[in-house]
A and B are shown apart, each in its own frame.
Chain A
Amino acid sequence: MQYQGFDNLIYKRLPEGVSINLQPAGLTVRAYAYLWDFMFRALIIFIFSLVLNFLGDAGQGLMLVVFFIVSWGYYIFFEAKNGQTPGKKRYKLQVVQDNGLPPRIEQIILRNLLRPADAFPFAYALGMLVMFFGSEFKRIGDWAAGTMVIYCEQTDLQMVNQKIEPLAPGFSFSTEEQKLIIGFAERCDSLSVGRQYELANVLAKNINCRDQEAVTMLKRYAQYFMGQEV
């Protein structure tokens, strides 16, 4: 474990000698993914029922088989390939092992066969409750299988635009402060203009300017800290 701020990243040490951070997926986005999967499953069953309807009694039997396979095998089939069902893929979620590696087939089967326990007594109530115990948002099936659901693409931060003219600040910043300013410059484009100004104005007194001017100034400092030659 390294720095644990108020973001919910988990740090995992790799055998390669470096640690990576994973961002576990919370309740809401997983519920959305579940609903998408639910729709896909309903669609598959609907399509099969259209065809099998013409086969009479045998068709009914095959329909039940299809129903069984889709309700139990859908998740296992898709997650076994790369840890993503169509619903999870849509929200860029992925099932991984506790250590961040792709899950093994045994773990996928186990985590999905334990769905009845999570679904107890209705609508995944127990699973949701269990998810709140722990920073990795695991439901019972995840606990038993040693898996978790993470975002496979974390929020894409924009690198500072190289065209900004770097500027050496007139006074010195500590390393921490430099990192904060670079962080601000990188996140700037994802913030609203008002919020950009609000954050930049914190330093208004030190850099003697406000609003748009301050934002530009901080971006130029950031460029300088990152080593653009002046």
Chain B
Amino acid sequence: MKQNQFVRLNEARWQLFSQFDASDKDWVAVYPEQFRQICSDLALARSRQYSPALIERLNQLVQQGQQHLYQSNGFSLVHILKIFTQDFPRALYENSKYIVASTLAFWGLGLLAFLWVLIAPQHIYWFIDPMQVNQLESMYDPAGSVQTDSRSAGQDVMMFGYYVYNNIGIAFQMFGGGALLGVGALFPLLFNSFYFGAISAHIVNVGFEEPFFSFVIGHGSFELMAIVIAGAAGCKIGFSILNPGTLARKEAIKKSGMSVLPLICGAFVMLLIAAFVEAFWSSSDLPSIVKYIVGSLGWFWVLHRLYRGCRYGN
């Protein structure tokens, strides 16, 4: 069959196909059939060596059909929540080795820094510059105005914004930077753990442990463990490039990327919770004992969930 005849015979059908309307029920019912027909037209046009313009046009129609038929479901917070409750524990189970290694690295180095500065208080100035140390001291000074009841509601919201922007930003940076052979995840993880350890020891040294620990215990469970998880996720992507095993590197990175995605979604939700707690609960003027009790319960719950996730995947 010559090309022009082929076009004349099918032109009307192609026209109709390109004007797809999802709201028309009858149309939707016959759409897959129409799509397969167009696919066969394209195959025919190819094998009959019709002109590039015609092949191009049919090619476009097929692509258009694919867009409608294989459409994705779009983006919703419900979806994120589903990932958090279902896929997240499973991903913890699948990547439990990385989670454990990351946890040990984070807490191990943090403890090291803590003990170091506790034994040799002046060494804090080796790691952190005096300006910053002063600032931190004033933040947790019981006589000061930063973490006390003199803070207004507006400032609470401001700090919430800051925690969202800064902490979740760090977690995402770690995840993305992990693709740089793991360095981008490992370095911030270790840096933050050392920093955190050194600071806590210094706060103990100057005697502000009461306001400090009552402040951090509430949100620390969510925040610190989320950072650990984000670090583990980033590291896995990086290491899969370094050591792809039997897979090609491009397949290895694809596989590891998909397997750690629920981890970063989980860390995101945890950090969101942490930001709420940090901005509105940790800074409130409740007695320390209440904060300690609630904070401990939070720690227990988070660790329990993470343990169950890593161990059983639920």
**Inter-subunit contact A60/B4 (CB<8 Å):** no
Contacts of A179 in B (CB 8 A): 49, 51-52
Contact check: which of A60, A68, A145 meets B168 at CB < 8 Å?
Answer: A68
* Interface positions of A from 146 to 167, Cβ below 8 Å from B: 146, 152-154, 156-160, 162
Encoded as 1 (CB less than 8 Å from any A CB) or 0, chain B from 161 to 173 comes to 1101100110011
Q: Does B93 contact A (CB under 8 A)?
A: no
**Inter-subunit contact B257/A145 (CB<8 Å):** yes
Contact check: which of B153, B176, B250 meets A114 at CB < 8 Å?
Answer: B176
**Inter-subunit contact B158/A159 (CB<8 Å):** no
* Interface positions of B from 26 to 72, Cβ below 8 Å from A: 35-36, 39-40, 42-43, 46, 49-54, 56-57, 59-60, 62-63, 66-67, 70-72
Contacts of B180 in A (CB 8 A): 117, 120, 126
- Shortest CB distance B293–A (Å): 28
- Shortest CB distance B264–A (Å): 6
B interface, size bucket? 35 or more
Known: A17-B43, A113-B172, A175-B49. A154 touches B70 (CB 8 A): no
Alpha-carbon distance A160/B52, docked complex (angstroms):
11
**Inter-subunit contact B164/A68 (CB<8 Å):** yes
Alpha-carbon distance A63/B165, docked complex (angstroms):
10
- Shortest CB distance B212–A (Å): 23
Q: Does A20 contact B (CB under 8 A)?
A: yes
Q: Does B243 contact A (CB under 8 A)?
A: no
Contacts of A62 in B (CB 8 A): 157, 161
Contacts of A222 in B (CB 8 A): 51
Q: Does A109 contact B (CB under 8 A)?
A: yes
One of B73-81, B142-150, B198-206 at the interface: B73-81
Contacts of B162 in A (CB 8 A): 61, 64
Alpha-carbon distance A63/B16, docked complex (angstroms):
48
Alpha-carbon distance A140/B265, docked complex (angstroms):
20
Known: A102-B66, A179-B49. A116 touches B177 (CB 8 A): yes
Contact check: which of A57, A106, A156 meets B258 at CB < 8 Å?
Answer: A106
Contact check: which of B66, B153, B175 meets A113 at CB < 8 Å?
Answer: B175
Q: Does B231 contact A (CB under 8 A)?
A: no
Contact check: which of B53, B62, B73, B177 meets A157 at CB < 8 Å?
Answer: B53
Encoded as 1 (CB less than 8 Å from any B CB) or 0, chain A from 86 to 117 comes to 00000000000000111111101110011111
Known: A68-B164, A80-B72, A182-B51. A226 touches B173 (CB 8 A): no
Contacts of B4 in A (CB 8 A): 162, 226-228
**Inter-subunit contact A57/B75 (CB<8 Å):** no
Contacts of A76 in B (CB 8 A): 75
Contacts of A55 in B (CB 8 A): 154
Instruction: Kindly report which residue of chain B lies nearest to residue A68, judged by CB atoms.
Output: B165
**Inter-subunit contact A18/B43 (CB<8 Å):** yes
**Inter-subunit contact B2/A143 (CB<8 Å):** no
Contacts of A117 in B (CB 8 A): 176-180, 184
Q: Does A212 contact B (CB under 8 A)?
A: no
Alpha-carbon distance A80/B169, docked complex (angstroms):
21
**Inter-subunit contact B53/A159 (CB<8 Å):** yes
Contacts of B100 in A (CB 8 A): none
Contact check: which of B2, B49, B154 meets A56 at CB < 8 Å?
Answer: B154
Known: A20-B62, A154-B60. A110 touches B52 (CB 8 A): no
Contact check: which of B5, B161, B254 meets A61 at CB < 8 Å?
Answer: B161
**Inter-subunit contact B237/A183 (CB<8 Å):** no
Contacts of B39 in A (CB 8 A): 14, 16-18
**Inter-subunit contact A116/B173 (CB<8 Å):** yes
Alpha-carbon distance A157/B50, docked complex (angstroms):
14
Alpha-carbon distance A157/B264, docked complex (angstroms):
45
Alpha-carbon distance A22/B66, docked complex (angstroms):
13
**Inter-subunit contact B258/A226 (CB<8 Å):** no
**Inter-subunit contact A61/B159 (CB<8 Å):** yes
Contacts of A183 in B (CB 8 A): 51-52
Q: Does A213 contact B (CB under 8 A)?
A: no
Q: Does B84 contact A (CB under 8 A)?
A: no
**Inter-subunit contact B157/A144 (CB<8 Å):** no
Contacts of B269 in A (CB 8 A): none
Alpha-carbon distance A110/B154, docked complex (angstroms):
35
Known: A144-B253, A175-B49. 17 other contacts (CB 8 A): A16-B39, A16-B62, A18-B46, A56-B154, A61-B157, A61-B160, A62-B161, A68-B161, A102-B72, A113-B264, A117-B177, A152-B63, A182-B51, A226-B4, A227-B2, A227-B3, A227-B5
Give the top 7 A-B pairs by smallest Cβ distance, nearest first: A227-B2, A61-B161, A116-B176, A64-B161, A80-B75, A57-B154, A61-B158
A-B contact pairs, 12 of them (CB 8 A): A16-B35, A18-B62, A20-B42, A22-B63, A64-B164, A105-B79, A109-B265, A114-B237, A158-B53, A159-B53, A227-B1, A227-B4
Residues of B within 8 A of A (CB): 1-5, 7, 35-36, 39-40, 42-43, 46, 49-54, 56-57, 59-60, 62-63, 66-67, 70-75, 79, 152-162, 164-165, 168-169, 172-173, 175-180, 184, 237, 250, 253-254, 256-258, 261, 264-265
